[in-house]
Amino acid sequence: MIDKIIPDTLQHAVKTLPDSAHVVAGAAAEHSGKFDFNHLLGHLYDSKDLEFPGGHWALPHFSPVHIAGLTIDFSVTKHVFFLFFAAILLIVLAVYAAGRIKKDPVPTGFGNLMEVFVVFIRDEIVMQNMGHAGLKYMPYLLTTFFYILIMNLLGLIPFGASATGNISVTAGLAVIAFLMIQFAAIRAQGLKHYLAHLTGGVAVWLWPIMIPIEVLGLFTKPFALCMRLFANMAGGHIVLLSLLGFIFIAKSYYFAPVPVLFTLGINMLELFVGFLQAYVFIMLTSLFMGLGMPQESHGH
């Protein structure tokens, strides 16, 4: 399953790109004879090896495991590698920042930078959406923010990849968010009141209509989180690759600086989007968690 991590939705998105993108692919194919559109989108695709200057490095491969009729492949792919690399990098940076802050109550440098993010998330996101009751969920929200941010930024470095451009990764993050949203609501309201809200407060004879709608609403929130993060990260890279592909249309070195300049501009925008999507994910998660908490616990 992991070795087929590129979803059907991405394949469909590729097929439904504007005609100009397919023209880019056609021009490239005429130029080299061996080039196709998949080469332009190779940066988005998952693979079983890592690219580096001058070659490839094959990642560990394991035999598939068969469980209850399902075939699961635990082999390490490019996106899995950057998923774990982001986790390790986050642990190292967090421990280093914690050490700096512990040593000096008024940190400077990297410790001060991390404190800026922590204070902003606490005061402008958690306190605003969840009140003081949300402070106990700060570790989860902070970890999610920095984890998504690091994965987003890794795709902007040469030979890197954004694991968040993989719908399997964003779906996993959305599942965890869904569990945290329900846990926070049950913890704040109690199981009885949590189940009661599924009726919408309407008459008993309307329950068969209201309960399915409310249950469906529970799943639409994490689904939106999943698709928003995936689409924004994958779409940005498609735009970058399409702009570079226009070089093949012109077939001229004099035209090359134009798409390159546009690509640099989009790269700066992608840097902003990397921060923005990490912020949006935890902002909406905290908002959904806050909706399940008593209103008196929220900030004004």
Look up residue 261 and give its two tokens.
């300049």
Place of tokens 């421990």: 95
Quote the CA–CA distance of 31 and 252 in Å, as a whole number: 11
Is the model more confident about 74 or about 20? 74
**Residue 82 φ/ψ, nearest 5 degrees:** -70, -25
What DSSP assignment string belongs to 189-239? H-HHHHHHGGGTT--GGGHHHHHHHHHHHHHHHHHHHHHHHHHHHHHHHHH
Q: pLDDT digits over 92-102, tens only? A: 999 998 888 88
Q: Give me the amino acid identity at 26.
A: G
Number of H helices, E strands in the chain: 11, 4
Across the range 97-123, mean pLDDT stands at 85
And the tokens for 128?
């605003």
Least confident span in 81-95, 205-219, 286-300: 286-300
- The H or E element that residue 65 is part of is strand 65-67
Euclidean distance between CA atoms 227 and 281, whole angstroms: 11
pLDDT tens, residue by residue, 22-63: 434 444 444 444 445 455 555 567 778 777 777 778 788 878
CB atoms within 10 A of CB 253: 8
Token couple for 133: 């009751």
Which is it for strands 49-52 and 55-58: parallel, antiparallel or unpaired?
A: antiparallel
Q: What is the pTM (predicted TM-score) of this model? A: 0.78
Compute the average pLDDT of residues 257-267.
76
In DSSP terms, 67 is beta-bridged to: 70
Residues in Cβ contact with 64 at an 8 Å cutoff, skipping those fewer than 6 apart? 71, 72, 73, 74
Q: Which residue has the higher pLDDT, 139 or 29?
A: 139
pLDDT band at residue 225 using 50, 70 and 90 as cut-offs: very high
Instruction: Please say whether the beta carbons of 229 and 170 come within 8 A.
Output: yes
Considering the chain, what percentage of its residues have pLDDT values greater than 90? 31
Q: Can you tell me which residue has the tokens 């009885």?
A: 192
d(CA 196, CA 29): 61
pLDDT at 44: 66
Q: Where are the domains of the chain?
A: 78-297
Enumerate residues 6+ apart whose C-beta is below 8 A from 238.
13, 14, 17, 21, 41, 44
Contact call for residues 217 and 265 (beta carbons, < 8 A): no
CA distance 184 to 189: 9
